[in-house]
Amino acid sequence: MSLEMMVGIKWVPNTQNVRFDPKTGTLIREGVPSIVNPADLDAVELALKVKDTYGGRVRVITMAPPSAVKGIEHVIGMGVDAGVLVTDRVFAGADTLATSYVLSQAIKKLGLPDLLFFGQETIDSSTAHIPAQVASWLDLPYVYYVDRVEEVNREEGYAVVRRKLEDRYEWVRVELPAVIAAALKSQVPRPVRLSEKLRFHRDKPLQTLTNKDLGLDPRCVGLRGSPTIVAKVTWMPEVPRKRQVFKGDAREAARWLVKKLAEEGILVREDGRWRVRVA
Ligand X SMILES: Cc1cc2nc3c(=O)[nH]c(=O)nc-3n(C[C@H](O)[C@H](O)[C@H](O)COP(=O)(O)OP(=O)(O)OC[C@H]3O[C@@H](n4cnc5c(N)ncnc54)[C@H](O)[C@@H]3O)c2cc1C
- Tell me which residues touch ligand X (CB under 6 A): 8-10, 16, 27, 37, 39-40, 43, 61-64, 94-97, 99, 103, 118-119, 121-131, 228
Does 166 interact with another protein (rule: CB under 8 A)?
Answer: yes
Nearest Cα to Cα of residue 9 among 72, 51, 52: 72
* Contact partner, 37, from another protein, ligand X, none, Cβ < 5-8 Å per class: ligand X
Smallest distance from ligand X to CB 238, Å? 18
Partner whose footprint covers residue 146, from another protein, ligand X, none (CB < 5 to 8 Å by kind): none
> Can you tell me the distance from the alpha carbon of 200 to that of 79, in angstroms, rounded to the nearest whole number?
10
Minimum CB separation from another protein for residue 24, in Å? 12
Query: Prior bond to 177 cis, omega within 30?
Result: yes
Instruction: Confirm if 40 and 7 have CB atoms less than 8 A apart.
Output: yes
Length of the chain: 279
d(CA 121, CA 141): 18
Distance of closest approach, residue 202 Cβ to ligand X, in angstroms: 25
Of 32, 112, 132, 206, the one binding another protein by CB under 8 A: 132
Give the total of residues touching another protein (CB under 8 A): 97
Q: Which does 36 bind (CB under 5 to 8 A by kind): another protein, ligand X, none?
A: none
- 175/203 with CB nearer another protein: 175
Q: Note whether 108 binds another protein by CB under 8 A.
A: no
Q: Which is nearer to another protein, 201 or 251 (CB)?
A: 251
Considering only 57, 65, 137, 206, the residue that binds another protein (CB under 8 A) is: 137
Residue 153 contacts another protein per CB under 8 A = no
Question: Which of 49, 136, 154, 189 forms a contact with another protein (CB under 8 A)?
Answer: 136
Per-residue burial over 137-157, b = 16 or more CB atoms within 10 Å of its CB, e = otherwise: bbebebbbbbbbbeebebeee
Q: Does 28 bind another protein (CB under 8 A)?
A: no
Q: 2 to 21, contacts with another protein by CB under 8 A? A: 16-20
> What is the CA angle 69-51-87, rounded to 5?
20
Rounded distance between C-alpha atoms, residue 88 and residue 66, angstroms: 9
CA distance 190 to 45: 7
Q: How far is the CB of 86 from another protein (least distance, A)?
A: 18
d(CA 25, CA 232): 6
Q: Examine residue 272 and tell whether it contacts another protein (CB under 8 A).
A: yes
Rule CB under 8 A: which of 51-90 touch another protein?
A: none
- What type of residue is 268? V
Cβ nearer to another protein, comparing 198 with 254? 254
Tell me how far CA of residue 91 lies from CA of 101, 124, 159, in angstroms.
10, 18, 33
Show contacts with another protein in window 229-248 (CB under 8 A): 229-239, 241-248
Looking at 55-63, 68-76, 170-178, 201-209, which segment touches another protein (CB under 8 A)? Answer: 170-178
* H/E stretch holding 241: none
Residue 178: burial class (beta carbons within 10 Å; 0-12, 13-18, 19+): buried
